[in-house]
Amino acid sequence: MRLPDILGQDDALRILDAEIRSGTMSHAYLLWGPRGSGRTLVARRLALAAGCSLKDQAPPESPLWYCGECANCAKIVSGVHPDVSVIVPSGNTIKIAQIREMQWRISLKANESELKTWLIDDADQMTEEAQNCLLKVLEEPPGRSLIILVAQDPQMMLPTIASRCHSIRLGTVDMGAMAEWAGSRLSLSPERARFLAALSGGLPGRLVSLASDHDYFELRGSIISKVRSVMWCGDGALALDASEGLLDELKKAHARAQDADGQGEAASREALEIATPTGACDCMAGWFRDLFVLSLTGDDELVINRDYMKALEEDAARGSPALFGRWTIRVMQTARALDANANARLAMDDLMLCLALAR
């Protein structure tokens, strides 16, 4: 049994592999980077490589190698190994009760493996109480244990936790390599693969999700349409109507995505995230970024939203790089204000008025 291949994280794999082969593994690792970079997959590979019964036979040219055939490998891949446990958020956070259970269980002797391994996914979602409890485990780790933290933003965790882990950052992947990989793995046309590679920001996990996410693209199209209807219109009432309509549509789309997710249907995080005021702002920022680049350079190869090339060319011809730069900054400021709990209606009204009056 095998896990999917890991794309573009060769440096991280080599670092981890060297420590396994040399016998200098840390008792705790912090693997962090943007969602979709493959951070959880790297964590699972680390658990497999460390737990494989035949790891001593690993070929030198295969970092984080595992045989995929021994009992340990089969059970880890299937998620049923008694010595490998995974903690994920309960609701929106990882709670102290979850870490206390880990604290007790990790002290027990391993049943079938040399290691007791714990993978804490979205570790930056731990409550402060849970982090303090985990800190006690990291300060006095039981023998033959491996703790793997997976996070997006280590700054959301106590500095003392990060300081007790071997921290490894995972980054984005080269667009060309992403497009080639997407075409091969997902059987996409070269044009579609290049488009999704750009839209996903070099994150393979996000590309895979977007490739089959109809809801995301439908809402994205609606956001772009509303923005274009307001730009340069000079009509404040129309701008305010567009703001109200957009927020209403986002609310309904988010509710649909949450319902689908709750029923176990295929609701991606992309569909959930774009169906928020902040997510809509991120979409707008990408649009204005493309207008800025296109008006400044005329190079359509630098465009992300290439499925809207004709509309982008029309809009770019009407404005200037300076204006599109101001709009990009303005929408990013709106997103930050929303993240700081600004009133969504007031923030979106102000943004739409800015576009309507070409400020």
Q: What is the CA angle 265-80-32, rounded to 5?
A: 70
Tokens of residue 180, six digits: 């080639």
Q: Which two tokens stand for residue 164?
A: 């007790």
At 101, the amino acid letter reads E
Q: Which stretches of the chain drop beneath a pLDDT of 50?
A: 264-266
Specify the DSSP element, H or E, that contains 151. strand 145-151
Q: What is the pTM of this model?
A: 0.85
Q: Each residue of 22-61: pLDDT tens digit?
A: 989 999 999 999 999 999 999 999 999 999 999 989 898 8
Distance in angstroms (rounded) separating the CA atoms of residues 333 and 73: 48
Q: What Å distances lie between residue 84 and 137, 167, 176, 244, CA to CA?
A: 16, 21, 36, 49
> Do the Cβ atoms of 274 and 280 come closer than 8 Å?
yes
pLDDT for 305 equals 95
pLDDT at 264: 47
Q: Euclidean distance between the first and final Cα of the chain, in Å?
A: 58
What is the Rg, in whole angstroms, of the alpha carbon atoms belonging to the chain?
Answer: 23
User: What is the torsion angle, in degrees rounded to the nearest 10, for the CA atoms of residue 96, residue 98, residue 101 and residue 102?
Assistant: -100
**Among 3.50.50.60, 3.30.1240.10, 3.40.50.300, 3.90.550.10, what is the CATH number of 10-169?**
3.40.50.300
Q: What are the CA-CA distances from residue 80 to residues 33, 64, 76, 86 (Å)? A: 27, 21, 6, 10
pLDDT of 226 reads 96
What does the pLDDT read at residue 225? 96
- The pLDDT value recorded for residue 93 is 94
The SS3 of residue 147 is strand
Q: Are 157 and 124 in contact (CB under 8 A)?
A: yes
Residues facing residue 126 across a β-bridge: 94
CATH architecture of 213-356: Up-down Bundle (1.20)
**Close Cβ partners of 227 (under 8 Å, ≥ 6 residues apart):** 284, 287, 355
Which string of DSSP letters, residue by residue, matches 164-179?
TSEEEE-----HHHHH
Domain boundaries, the chain: 10-169, 213-356
Q: What pLDDT does 261 receive?
A: 58
pLDDT at 262: 56
- pLDDT, residue 141, reads 82
Q: Is 282 helix (H, G, I), strand (E, B) or coil?
A: helix
Cα–Cα distance, 42 to 204 (Å, whole number): 13
